[in-house]
Amino acid sequence: MLENFANSLVTIFYAYAALGALFAITFLTIGIARIDHEAKGAGPGFRLIIASGVIALWPLLAYRWFTGITEPPPQKDPHR
């Protein structure tokens, strides 16, 4: 039973990573310039550096891209 759970967990992880990789290909070519105007002229080195983060955080980035959020949320801590 524990082996089935572990196999399911690994399968879910692989599916998440595969979806993230597919999203990253599209996002790094088209979407990044739409949600971050500073990254508009960024070269392939920058895109390669952030690719692993895009794969890991793809649900958050997909939400921001598809809802049209282009600015980061305001900082709400005592240092502001």
| Residue in the structure block whose two tokens are 């310039």 | 33
| Residue in the structure block whose two tokens are 């920058």 | 46
- The sign of the torsion formed by the CA atoms of 9, 25, 64, 35 equals positive
Reported confidence tier of residue 9, pLDDT bands at 50, 70, 90 = very high
d(CA 41, CA 49): 15
Domain ranges of the chain: 17-67
* pLDDT the model gives residue 80: 61
Among 28, 27, 20, 33, which residue's Cα sits nearest to residue 59? 20
For 23-79, how does the pLDDT look when each residue is reduced to its tens digit (9 = 90+)?
999 999 988 888 888 888 888 899 999 999 999 999 999 999 999 887 777 888 887
